[in-house]
Structure 1
Amino acid sequence: MIYTLTLNPSVDYIVKLESFQLGELNRTINEAKFPGGKGINVSTVLNQFGTKSKALGFIGGFTGAYIEQYLHNEKIDTDFVEVDEDTRINVKIKTSQESEINAIGPNISEQNFIRLKQKIHHLGADDLLVLAGSIPASLPKTTYEELVKICSESGADFVVDAEGDLLKKVLPYRPFLIKPNHHELGELFDTTIANPAEVIPYGKRLVDMGAKNVIVSLAGAGAALINSGMTLFAEVPKGEVKNSVGAGDSMVAGFLAAYERTRNIEEAFRYSVASGSATAFSLGLCTKEKVEELLPQVHIKEIR
């Protein structure tokens, strides 16, 4: 079973306006709301492929109840820890320029964290946990390390989609997959990565540090997959980029859905790239139909 973890989910409230005038009454043209958070995005895209997952994390109040009900309506299982304060609301303002107002989120108590760890302790050798996104300020900075250590001891696989020290510190526990983009990869090694060829040596270093599979996305320049046995490079489909939010989460979900079905790394990588592109070319997260439409454009070659 795949479990996704979102430590600080949100209700994303998206409003579109002709223009925004500071200090004046502004009226929307249209608006929408839906659950936000990287782990929730992974569960949503997995669901598009018919791959079951269970969403974990912290929710509270009327906004938390909305997230849980929304996911249940989509036939996505949940096992959240309930906290005392309301889940945050993030406001996305879309005009000629886009602006965001992101809330801090609820306080997570030590007891709340213990309850989450108890849930992770129940994962076993047939399970995989996706840890994605930042750690709330009220949780210890060692949160990811503590959780992946539990997975390591129980035999559960795990995927980490995070940046900087959060990512570095989980590598000794041998994550099944990590997915930095080329900017994040450069920051890890205090360098600048400008082209696909420069990705490979640093991707191999991440494998040497413990990662089983590394996917590095380079936006329109393609993507690379590196593990101990192969290095693959994929050209990405061509299209109009409408949205970057959730593209990385879609890559993770596409990879896991295809790998669970085929146990083939190259095919999983192909779906990963098509899924990320399908989200980038859409106003929301990708659909299975859009991914399959793009698959023939994903050309993969092995680098020897």
Structure 2
Amino acid sequence: MIYTVTFNPAWDYVVFLDSLVPGEINRAKHESIVWGGKGINVSGILRELGAESTALGFVAGFTGQALEAGIEARGIHTDFIRLPEGNTRINVKVKHGEETEINGQGPVITEQAIRELYEKLDRLEQGDTLVLAGSIPGCLPADTYERILERLMGRGIRMVVDASGDLLLNVVKYHPFLIKPNHHELGEMFHTECSTPEEIAHYAGELQKLGAENVLVSMAGDGAFLLTAEGTTCQIGTPKGTVVNSVGAGDSMVAGFLAGFDRSGSYEEALKLGTAAGSATAFSEGLADAAAIEALYQTL
């Protein structure tokens, strides 16, 4: 079973405008309301690809109840912890020219609630996969990811971390099965820029030396690079399409990679399906559906 953790899920209220005039009433051309959160996005794409997962995390208030119900209505199993105070956040995304985002703060995760999460994670079994994605809320210790990986280390659980900066650097010593920085994040971790295939390969190797097993680097329009646990490298371009949405593309790549690897045991197939899933979401207004992913997969 694949488990995803989303510490601070959200409703994304996306508004499309023809024009934006500050200080005036602006009317939407059209709008959408979708649930979000990096781990939840991973679970959503896994569902589209026929892979089962359980979404873990924290919800609160009436917005949390609605989010949980909406996710389950899509056929995704959830096991959220309900917080006693606050509301699951609402993020406002204004699309007019460049995208503008206003992200809500979210509820406070109590010590009791984080203990409940640890208890759920303690029930994971050998062969399960745990996906930790995104940032850690300010109400939790900065080393929360490290505590989780240390707690589960040595139990045969595949651990996947999609994060950036020190948050990612500090967990590679626990030998995660997969990490997925983008090429900008990869360079920032080593205080440099990664703009060539050689540079990306070199610094992906540095992360592997620090303990990561598989290093998947997304490179936007230039595709993706994979350094496998076996020491082999794979690189793939991106299919043709128009990018209309950057939200969830990286999460979709992680989901596609895991689904592809579980299906085939092949790193090349995992990279191919991951690239198709990530690109399909980038070419969609929301998370991609199975048909869109399959169509792009056939072009790679």
**Would the aligned equivalents of 1:48 and 1:287 in 2 still touch at CA under 8 Å?**
yes
| Shift of residue 282, structure 1, vs aligned partner | 1.4
Secondary structure of 2:159's counterpart equals: strand
Equivalence for 2:63:
63
| TM-score normalised by L of structure 2 | 0.96
**Would the aligned equivalents of 1:121 and 1:154 in 2 still touch at CA under 8 Å?**
no
Equivalence for 2:101:
100
**Would the aligned equivalents of 1:4 and 1:39 in 2 still touch at CA under 8 Å?**
yes
| Shift of residue 18, structure 1, vs aligned partner | 2.5
Deviations 1:141-163 (A, max 9, x none): 11101111122143311100000
Secondary structure of 1:210's counterpart equals: coil
Amino acid at match of 1:284: G
Unaligned 5+ segments in structure 2 are: none
**Would the aligned equivalents of 1:196 and 1:221 in 2 still touch at CA under 8 Å?**
no
Point out the more displaced range, 25-34 or 80-89: 25-34
Deviations 1:143-199 (A, max 9, x none): 101111122143311100000111011111111100111000001111111122211
**Would the aligned equivalents of 1:5 and 1:132 in 2 still touch at CA under 8 Å?**
yes
**Would the aligned equivalents of 2:228 and 2:267 in 1 still touch at CA under 8 Å?**
no
Alignment partner of 1:73 is 2:73: yes
- Alignment of structure 1 residues 31-70 onto 2, 5 Å: 31-70=31-70
Deviations 1:230-278 (A, max 9, x none): 1111122122111111110010000111111111111111101111111
Q: Pick one of 271, 288, 297 that aligns with 1:286.
A: 288
| Shift of residue 96, structure 1, vs aligned partner | 3.4
Equivalence for 2:217:
216
Deviation beyond 3 Å, 4+ runs, structure 1: none
Q: How many angstroms apart in 1 are the aligned matches of 2:228 and 2:95? A: 40
Point out the more displaced range, 239-248 or 177-186: 239-248
| Shift of residue 60, structure 1, vs aligned partner | 0.4
| TM-score normalised by L of structure 1 | 0.95
**Would the aligned equivalents of 1:195 and 1:221 in 2 still touch at CA under 8 Å?**
no
Secondary structure of 2:153's counterpart equals: helix
**Would the aligned equivalents of 1:270 and 1:295 in 2 still touch at CA under 8 Å?**
yes
Point out the more displaced range, 2-11 or 153-162: 153-162
| Shift of residue 27, structure 1, vs aligned partner | 2.3
Q: How many angstroms apart in 1 are the aligned matches of 2:240 and 2:23? A: 41
**Would the aligned equivalents of 1:88 and 1:106 in 2 still touch at CA under 8 Å?**
yes
Q: Percent identity, please.
A: 51
Amino acid at match of 2:178: L
Cα 1:122–1:262, aligned 2, differ >3 Å: closer, same or farther? same
Secondary structure of 1:140's counterpart equals: coil
**Would the aligned equivalents of 1:39 and 1:132 in 2 still touch at CA under 8 Å?**
yes
Secondary structure of 1:63's counterpart equals: helix
- Alignment of structure 1 residues 134-149 onto 2, 5 Å: 134-149=135-150
Q: How many angstroms apart in 1 are the aligned matches of 2:87 and 2:209? A: 42
- Alignment of structure 1 residues 99-118 onto 2, 5 Å: 99-118=100-119
Number of aligned residues: 298
Equivalence for 1:255:
257
Point out the more displaced range, 22-31 or 47-56: 22-31
Superposed CA RMSD in Å reads 1.2
| Shift of residue 58, structure 1, vs aligned partner | 0.6
Equivalence for 2:202:
201
Q: Pick one of 276, 279, 287 that aligns with 2:278.
A: 276
Q: How many angstroms apart in 2 are the aligned matches of 1:97 and 1:186? A: 25
Unaligned 5+ segments in structure 1 are: 299-304
Equivalence for 1:180:
181
Secondary structure of 2:139's counterpart equals: coil
Cα 1:221–1:97, aligned 2, differ >3 Å: closer, same or farther? closer
Equivalence for 1:302:
none
- Alignment of structure 1 residues 235-254 onto 2, 5 Å: 235-254=237-256
